[in-house]
Amino acid sequence: MIISNKLADIPESYFGKTMGRHIEHGPLPLINMAVGIPDGQTPQGIIDHFAQALQLPENQKYGAFHGKDSFKQAIVDFYQRQYNVTLDKDDEVCILYGTKNGLVALPTCIVNPGDYVMLPDPGYTDYLAGVLLADAKPIPLNLEPPHYLPDWSTVNRETLLKTKLIYLTYPNNPTGSTATQQVFDEAIDNIYGTNTKIVHDFAYGAFGFDAKNPSILASKHGKDVAIEIYSLSKGYNMSGFRVGFAVGNKDMIQALKKYQTHTNAGMFGALQDAATYALNHYDDFLIQQSDTFRQRRNYFEAQLAQAGLPYVHSKGGIYSWLHTPPGFDSERFEQFLVTEKSILVAPGIPFGNNGKHYVRISLALDEQQLSEAAQRLSDIAYLYQK
Ligand SMILES: Cc1ncc(COP(=O)(O)O)c(C=O)c1O
């Protein structure tokens, strides 16, 4: 076998394995509720600006390693406007070719072999590979229903002291839970003065249904201990573009930037121009996105409630988190739904052990499909009555 021992030991990526596969389903037309991105298109103005940027000779060549000043300035302005957080564009901003890249690279940049890294359980699946690539040890940070927030009183103090990095993500994929500023204040209080750092993955930052989602950097000492990673994929419907950024703690940002000088050669200039245009002109679009998903959440949860299905109330993001019926684990229920109801969902288990009895249902569907899906799910309410 040519594959290295280290890579061979990393479990298959769940979404790498399943995305785009042929789905064997029941007789009804398939409704795909496993998708992880909003269903809308990139706003036309961003595409037009991208097309113009393609014509610029400066964008045909290698650009500055750490990005154009105009892009970094747009990031700084965006954070000031949206979160009232002031950033230094040279020391506190690192542009990323898709945030997955930064999230997976981070442990290699800032932790040493054997160090502990705490991962939310349930939480986004791709953090784990980054920890294993760094020869660090993943430790679950248990998140419990209904709020799925860390309870620091249950985290062993010795374990915390050996932990060099904690991943947090709110709105949470897969549960739809959100954080208040106080949640971040408490997380920071817990580790302030130690060597532990926090990365807050803000991929669904735009989607807050009951309140605007806070930035961890707006908490006291936020920038002393944390970075935040912001993606343009979900809010701006730009997942195909592959663009995002990390902001916050200088030392963490410098480490990421050093890593990039060895693994990247600057981001495509036209992409930076498109992202700059998005950040500078589409604040209203982010509000619309959140409104759309709030309406869908309201509708879908009302349907589930009427049928008596045990979902977790979602406060942000683009998903619904549904408990499995008695006798079903997440994978068995996923199989049942696809063969009996032709509904594809994501099983909860790839998101961590606490996902074992849940499935993640994406709300990135138009009204008609959502209503059809709600109807099909209501038809299986009897499974929960056993
Ligand atoms: C929680 C979370 N973080 C990060 C990402 C990665 O997004 P991207 O690499 O497109 O910025 C995703 C994508 O699904 C996600 O759900």
- Binned at pLDDT 50, 70 and 90, residue 22 comes out as confident
pLDDT, tens digit, for every residue of 284-299? 999 999 999 999 999 9
Q: How far is the CA of 367 from the centre of ligand 1 (A)?
A: 24
Residue 13 has pLDDT above 90, yes or no: no
| Ligand 1: nearest atom to the Cα of 101 | 9
- Binned at pLDDT 50, 70 and 90, residue 371 comes out as very high
**Most informative mutation of 15, 39, 124 for ligand 1 (most atoms within 8 A of CB):** 124
pLDDT, tens digit, for every residue of 242-256? 999 999 999 999 999
- Binned at pLDDT 50, 70 and 90, residue 12 comes out as confident
Q: Let me know: does 343 contact 376? Beta carbons within 8 Å.
A: yes
What is 5-42+283-380's CATH number, 3.40.50.300, 3.40.50.620, 3.90.1150.10, 3.30.2090.10? Answer: 3.90.1150.10
At 125 the pLDDT is: 93
Q: How far is the CA of 241 from the centre of ligand 1 (A)?
A: 13
- Binned at pLDDT 50, 70 and 90, residue 169 comes out as very high
Across residues 178-183, what is the average pLDDT? 98
| Ligand 1: nearest atom to the Cα of 234 | 10
So what CATH class is 45-282? alpha beta
**Most informative mutation of 106, 143, 234 for ligand 1 (most atoms within 8 A of CB):** 234
At 21 the pLDDT is: 77
State whether the beta carbon of 201 lies less than 6 angstroms from ligand 1. yes
Domain boundaries, the chain: 5-42+283-380, 45-282
At 27 the pLDDT is: 87
pLDDT, tens digit, for every residue of 255-286? 999 999 999 989 999 999 999 999 999 999 99
At 23 the pLDDT is: 82
At 295 the pLDDT is: 98
| Ligand 1: nearest atom to the Cα of 169 | 1
Q: How far apart are CA 362 and CA 345, in angstroms?
A: 7
Name the token pair of 267: 């981001």
Helix/strand/coil for 49: helix
Q: How far is the CA of 342 from the centre of ligand 1 (A)?
A: 26
Atom 6 of ligand 1: nearest residue by CA position: 100
At 26 the pLDDT is: 82
pLDDT, tens digit, for every residue of 185-244? 999 999 999 999 999 999 999 999 999 999 999 999 999 999 999 999 999 999 999 999
Q: Let me know: does 103 contact 127? Beta carbons within 8 Å.
A: yes
At 121 the pLDDT is: 98
State whether the beta carbon of 173 lies less than 6 angstroms from ligand 1. yes
| Ligand 1: nearest atom to the Cα of 15 | 14
Helix/strand/coil for 139: strand
Q: How far apart are CA 230 and CA 228, in angstroms?
A: 6
Q: How far apart are CA 221 and CA 59, in angstroms?
A: 38
At 16 the pLDDT is: 72
Across residues 342-363, what is the average pLDDT? 97
State whether the beta carbon of 360 lies less than 6 angstroms from ligand 1. no
Who's near 376: CB < 8 A, 6+ residues apart? Answer: 28, 31, 341, 342, 343
Across residues 66-74, what is the average pLDDT? 97
Q: How far apart are CA 69 and CA 90, in angstroms?
A: 9
At 24 the pLDDT is: 84
Q: Whose structure tokens read 């309410």?
A: 381
State whether the beta carbon of 172 lies less than 6 angstroms from ligand 1. no
Strands (E), 54-205: 93-96, 116-121, 137-142, 163-169, 197-201
Q: CA dist 84 to 77, 78, 231, Å?
A: 9, 9, 18
HSE at residue 178, side-chain half, CA atoms within 13 A, is 22
At 322 the pLDDT is: 98
